[in-house]
Amino acid sequence: MIILKIGGSILTNKDSKTSEVDSSSLKRIASEIKDSMDNSQKQLIIVHGAGSFGHPPAKKHRIGEEFDRKLYPQKRLGFCEIQNEVKKLNMFVCEAFINEGLPVIALSASSFITATDKRITSGNLDLFKNYLSKGFIPVIYGDVVLDDDLEFCVISGDQLIQYLAKNLNPDRVVMGTDVDGVYNKNPKTHDDAIFFDKFTSLEDLDTLEGTTNVDVTGGMVGKIKELLDLADLGIESKIINAEVEGNIFKVLEDKEVKGTIISRGN
């Protein structure tokens, strides 16, 4: 079993003020996944980010922050708006995959996951296991969920990866981003950024702003934190550049791809 995360920055124009799908990137990724899954017995779970569909409304409505009870109706409507927007992106993603002949089935976190203080605390994965056993490819995505402490919160695709991996014990976890892996500082703004083949601690970063884009889910640092928690359980993961043509196919085929392995081992 492989859990593959595709970042929202790959699928959308994340900095856009409107919801825009990167259709060419989405089609390429769908094709690479299809090429790998053909005549293969491997099980695959796909997690994708929210990109320009989810992040702007989440910031606008400040979901996940404490609020005055008189604002509850407004916050509730904001929750609905965000959930609807990320569902739209998921529809585009699944449509592209289905057009490539991939048997994907969409599963929304808001329909079965709840949280406490912005961390997942419950979510029955029996349905995931059932779909996997029948040859489907479950697709889940960054979403908003009910929170016991805060009423509502954002659950990132990165946190979903951790929850799925902890409970389903995959053979591999792969995170596709818009950079080659982990650097000690942002490689898009620092020419002297140092690349890590293997990463074991946040202390190795020169700055906790070592990320291509800081967003409501924590940017690259947020991703690393989730994967380091997995590493504590003995589950290695790899961060690769999903914008490089062929990388998704290669990593699914367990071929050599430039990237950073997240592990607590030597």
The number of beta carbons lying within 10 Å of the beta carbon of residue 172 is 17
What pLDDT tens digit does each residue of the chain (266 aa) get?
Answer: 999 999 888 998 755 566 788 899 999 999 999 999 998 889 999 999 887 787 777 888 888 888 888 999 999 999 999 999 999 999 999 999 999 999 999 999 999 999 999 999 999 999 999 999 999 999 999 999 999 999 999 999 999 999 999 999 999 999 999 899 988 888 888 888 889 899 888 777 765 554 444 444 457 787 888 888 888 888 999 999 999 999 999 999 999 999 999 987 65
d(Cα 4, Cα 259) in Å, to the nearest integer? 14
Tokens coding 133: 């056993």
d(Cα 21, Cα 69) in Å, to the nearest integer? 36
Q: What is the DSSP letter of 234?
A: T
- Smallest Cα–Cα separation from 178: which of 35, 42, 1, 51? 51
d(Cα 115, Cα 142) in Å, to the nearest integer? 13
- Smallest Cα–Cα separation from 55: which of 85, 10, 25? 85
What pLDDT shows up at residue 18? 66
The pTM is what? 0.90
What pLDDT shows up at residue 16? 58
Contact 175, 237 (CB under 8 A): yes
Burial-class residue 39 by CB neighbours within 10 Å (0-12, 13-18, 19+). exposed
The number of beta carbons lying within 10 Å of the beta carbon of residue 133 is 9
d(Cα 10, Cα 144) in Å, to the nearest integer? 20
The residues near 16 (Cβ < 8 Å, ≥ 6 apart) are 52
Contact 117, 86 (CB under 8 A): no
Tokens coding 117: 């203080």
| Assigned fold of 2-262 | Carbamate kinase (3.40.1160)
What pLDDT shows up at residue 194? 86
> What are the residue ranges spanned by the domains of the chain?
2-262
Phi and psi at residue 92, in whole multiples of 5°?
A: -65, -45
d(Cα 226, Cα 21) in Å, to the nearest integer? 26
Contact 137, 30 (CB under 8 A): no
189 vs 193, 204, 236, CA distance in Å? 9, 18, 28
For the chain, give the longest Cα–Cα distance.
56
Q: How many residues does the chain have?
A: 266
Tokens coding 167: 């409970």
d(Cα 59, Cα 52) in Å, to the nearest integer? 11
What pLDDT shows up at residue 207? 55
